[in-house]
Amino acid sequence: MELAHILGARDGFLVRQSKGTRPQLLKSKRTVSLIDHREVSLMPEARYRFDRGVPEREARRGQVSMAEQDTISALAPRLAEEIRGRLIAGELKPGQRLSEAALSADFSVSRNSLREAFRLLTKEGLLRHEPNRGMFVATPSMASIIDIYRIRRMIECQALAKAYPHHPAVARMRAAVDAARIARGEKAWGVVGSQNMVFHAAIVEMADSQRLNAFYAQIAAELRLSFGLLADPELLHAPYVDLNAAILEQLEAGKTQEAADMLEAYLTQSERTVLAAFSRIP
């Protein structure tokens, strides 16, 4: 790759731009190339070189050029996806304050890029900004919990009722059940919760809709935040390991409607558990 085609190396990302086109994200430490899936080696000493005529010394002074703004816009959705993934994994808790300095160092990105990712997640209702205090993980409201479960019943039950029993996602459901059983034996309830999220995401995948998968990822992040309201994670997760297994057995036997009916009752029970925990919050 010629240096003249490299737009920037800031934030641990390599960005390429052809004349008259918008920048293209090549690689970060955490993502695969969006262009050709080849690994791109990025040297620590890599410097800015802007094809739009911005001198390198101005880039070093931290001035935000149009090219840099394009880079930030390209990085922000990827950063938001990383943070959303941490929410789904239960690594971030409701009400937790997010350190800009720590996260920017963790992701090897600038604060400007991180703030844009924060803005996207705030718009989704996953984060909230408090003036003079900073950015916090959102705490779900009772209304949002009820809405999340209503959406889950509409999406998951329909996907399961119309599922193909030999869909590739079924193997992921089986792997999630097996992993959850092992984690239950070790009383690793956070892992059990994460495998539960994998199980339900796989149900949605059987609808074969990328848009639906992306939408469910946002719902899943809000759902995991609602799980974080429970002081005793065992109370929430322990009963559902065997229920997930029972639903899977019905699906593998080709009894998709029976599996969907079991899931609807399951979601109603889960909703009541989470709402009861919410009502006990001081």
Say yes or no: 127 and 154 in one domain.
no
Say yes or no: 23 and 129 in one domain.
yes
Say yes or no: 117 and 149 in one domain.
no
Last residue of a domain, one of 137, 156, 171: 137
Last residue of a domain, one of 137, 168, 202: 137
Residues 6+ apart with CB under 8 A from 266: 240, 243, 247
Say yes or no: 15 and 114 in one domain.
yes
**Amino acid found at 235:** L
Say yes or no: 81 and 179 in one domain.
no
* pTM assigned to the model: 0.65
pLDDT at 282: 63
Domain with residue 46: its CATH number is: 1.10.10.10
Distance separating alpha carbons of residues 251 and 245, to the nearest angstrom: 10
Sign of the CA dihedral with 139 first, then 123, 197, and 137 last: negative
Say yes or no: 120 and 7 in one domain.
yes
Low-confidence spans in the chain with pLDDT less than 50? 1-17, 22-62
Containing domain of residue 17, as a range?
3-137
pLDDT at 110: 86
Last residue of a domain, one of 137, 161, 191: 137
pLDDT at 63: 52
Residue 167: HSE in the Cβ half-sphere, 13 Å Cα cutoff: 21
CB neighbour burial string for 169-208, b if at least 16 within 10 angstroms, e if fewer: bbebbbebbebbeebbeeebbebbbbbbbbbbbbbbbbbe
Token readout for 273 is: 């558990």
Residue 49, classified by CB atoms within 10 Å of its CB into exposed (0-12), middle (13-18) or buried (19+), is middle
Number of domains within the chain: 2
Say yes or no: 165 and 274 in one domain.
yes
Domain with residue 205: its CATH number is: 1.20.120.530
Say yes or no: 153 and 264 in one domain.
yes
Decide: 173 and 203 in contact? Cβ < 8 Å.
Answer: yes
Say yes or no: 46 and 114 in one domain.
yes
The predicted-structure confidence for 171-225, as pLDDT tens digits, reads as follows 999 999 999 999 999 999 989 999 999 999 999 999 999 999 999 988 888 888 8
